[in-house]
């Protein structure tokens, strides 16, 4: 473990993009448009900010790391409603843990997965979709696990190819990272896929860490989730943890309020870990968070804004750049050729900052990068800014 901590940390895609564009300026008089980061820019719900203000005196005391009973109950109730779970499937005290955002919590979740190493053959490994969100690779490398990059390109339907993992590799896995709706591609893992993955996890004793932070941003149908798959498999949540956040659902990334839910043994250990090395969500934020998980009107309003922007993108780009309508999330995944060169051109010639897909992927065995030909474009600004940004992309890249 000490050797792994000393190993070089993988650079995040954002740091690599900064290095690429350092010293490059947009044309004079062109207002920059930032579409490279999934930073929600819709107005946060006013009632949530009012709840925080009302509870402001409680900032003067430590909050419960395990979350207030009201917040845990609101989360459990929401999960049962959203994913059609049996009433008795989730115990708020055993299956749910509020956490300070998803990125840190998914990183910590791999610590729990690594603890179960008894009787395993070969070096520990973690399966990561390729392309991927940078937290997953950073966690694997930091903990000394071998990153197993699972292809998730166009030929795999943009989902990690479970058939690419042989039994020997499955036997070495401690964790399998999955994002659904996927960042960056916006595809959704269906229930048969989730059920198969959970069966593999239970057979080979690894933990499925499912990042569902984009689950409430979708164009058409609500994406299914891993808890729903667990219900279909009998209701046991063994070896499954799901992660949700108010950052995307409620346009409140600054709240750092989310939750992990699933396997009660892992949730218990997760709480113990956070009690010695984690940060509790401040109590006024917990009070507001409980209200947010119990309100759907603000989510529907925000979703309608995203739907309008995706429909705009379909009209403007629908016959170019391999455009497809994402099932969920807030990104376009556009095929442009050399993504690094395209990103540099867009900033230098049009003042639009986007994320090269190469920076969100690792080399495959044949030396190619699954994201190399793609740009991730975040449709987070208002409609007019989005229209302007898409128009500049179309005009610059043709």
pLDDT of residue 8: 65
> Quick one: what percent of the chain has pLDDT higher than 90?
84
| 151 within 8 A of 161, measured Cβ to Cβ | yes
Read off the DSSP letter of residue 45. P
Checking if the pLDDT of 278 tops 90, the result is no
Q: Residue range 382-394: average pLDDT?
A: 98
Q: Residue range 108-127: average pLDDT?
A: 82
pLDDT of residue 234: 96
Count of residues for the chain? 398
Between β-strands 125-130 and 173-179, what pairing exists: parallel, antiparallel or unpaired? parallel
* Ordered strands of the 96-99 beta sheet: 96-99, 258-262, 240-245, 207-211, 173-179, 125-130, 146-151
Q: Residue range 134-158: average pLDDT?
A: 91
Q: Residue range 49-72: average pLDDT?
A: 97
How does pLDDT run across 279-313, given as a tens digit for each residue?
Answer: 899 999 999 999 999 999 999 999 999 999 999 99
| Domains of the chain with bracketed CATH | 2-43+298-397 (3.90.1150.10), 60-295 (3.40.640.10)
Question: Which residues touch 45 (CB under 8 Å, ≥6 apart)?
Answer: 250, 251, 252, 292, 295, 298
pLDDT of residue 6: 47
pLDDT of residue 122: 78
Region for 225 from its dihedrals, namely left if φ exceeds 0, alpha if ψ lies in -120 to 50, beta otherwise? beta
Checking if the pLDDT of 226 tops 70, the result is yes
Q: Which burial class, exposed, middle or buried, applies to 289 when counting CB atoms under 10 A from its CB (0-12, 13-18, 19+)? A: buried
Q: Residue range 113-134: average pLDDT?
A: 84
Checking if the pLDDT of 9 tops 90, the result is no
pLDDT of residue 117: 63
Checking if the pLDDT of 121 tops 90, the result is no
Checking if the pLDDT of 10 tops 70, the result is yes
Q: What is the mean pLDDT of the chain?
A: 94
Q: Residue range 54-63: average pLDDT?
A: 96
pLDDT-derived band of residue 57, with 50, 70 and 90 as boundaries? very high
Nearest to 281 by CA among 265, 298, 259, 248: 259
pLDDT of residue 279: 87
Strand intervals (E) in the chain: 33-34, 96-99, 125-130, 146-151, 173-179, 207-211, 240-245, 258-262, 331-335, 352-353, 355-356, 374-378
Tell whether pTM > 0.75: yes
Bridge partners, 211 (sequence order): 179, 243
pLDDT of residue 7: 57
Checking if the pLDDT of 208 tops 70, the result is yes
pLDDT of residue 180: 98
Q: In this predicted structure, which of 114-118, 174-178, 362-366, 387-391 has the lowest mean pLDDT?
A: 114-118
260 phi/psi in degrees, rounded to 5? -120, 140
Whole-number Å distance between alpha carbons of 156 and 187: 11
Q: Residue range 259-278: average pLDDT?
A: 94
Whole-number Å distance between alpha carbons of 396 and 398: 6
How does pLDDT run across 310-338, given as a tens digit for each residue?
Answer: 999 999 998 999 999 999 999 999 999 99
pLDDT-derived band of residue 99, with 50, 70 and 90 as boundaries? very high
Side-chain half-sphere CA neighbours of 42 within 13 A: 26
pLDDT of residue 2: 42
Question: Which residues touch 277 (CB under 8 Å, ≥6 apart)?
Answer: 108
């Amino acid at each position: 473990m000490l050797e792994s901590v000393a190993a070089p940390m993988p650079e995040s895609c954002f740091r690599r993009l900064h290095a690429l564009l350092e010293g490059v300026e947009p044309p004079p008089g062109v207002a920059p448009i930032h579409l490279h980061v999934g930073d929600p820019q819709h107005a946060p719900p006013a009632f949530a900010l009012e709840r925080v203000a009302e509870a402001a005196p409680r900032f003067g005391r430590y909050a419960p790391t395990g979350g207030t009973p009201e917040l845990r109950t609101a989360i459990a109730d929401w999960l049962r409603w959203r994913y059609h779970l049996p009433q008795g499937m989730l115990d708020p005290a055993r299956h749910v843990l509020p956490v300070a955002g998803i990125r840190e919590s998914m990183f910590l979740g791999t610590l729990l997965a690594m603890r179960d190493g008894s009787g395993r053959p070969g070096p520990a490994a973690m399966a990561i979709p390729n392309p991927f969100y940078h937290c997953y690779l950073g966690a694997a490398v930091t903990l000394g696990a071998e990153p197993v990059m699972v292809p998730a390109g166009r030929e795999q339907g943009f989902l990690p190819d479970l058939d690419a993992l042989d039994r020997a590799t499955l036997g070495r896995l401690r964790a399998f990272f999955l994002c659904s709706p996927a960042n960056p591609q916006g595809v959704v893992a269906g229930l048969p896929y989730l059920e198969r993955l959970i069966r593999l996890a239970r057979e080979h004793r690894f933990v499925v860490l499912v990042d569902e932070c984009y689950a409430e941003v979708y164009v058409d149908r609500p994406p299914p989730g891993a808890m729903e798959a667990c219900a279909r498999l009998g209701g046991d949540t063994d070896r499954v943890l799901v992660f949700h956040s108010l950052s995307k659902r409620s346009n409140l990334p600054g709240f750092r309020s989310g939750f992990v839910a699933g396997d009660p043994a892992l949730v218990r250990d997760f709480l113990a870990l956070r009690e010695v090395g984690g940060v509790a969500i401040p109590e006024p934020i917990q009070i507001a968070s409980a209200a947010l998980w119990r309100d759907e009107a603000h989510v529907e309003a925000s979703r309608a804004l995203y739907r309008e922007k995706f429909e705009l993108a379909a009209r403007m780009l629908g016959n170019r750049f391999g455009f497809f309508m994402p099932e969920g999330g807030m990104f376009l995944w556009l095929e442009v050729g050399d993504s690094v060169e395209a990103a540099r051109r867009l900033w230098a010639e049009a003042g639009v900052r986007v994320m090269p897909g190469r920076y969100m992927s690792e080399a495959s065995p044949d030396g190619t990068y699954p994201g190399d030909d793609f740009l991730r474009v975040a449709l987070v600004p208002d409609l007019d800014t989005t229209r302007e940004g898409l128009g500049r992309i179309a005009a610059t890249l043709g």
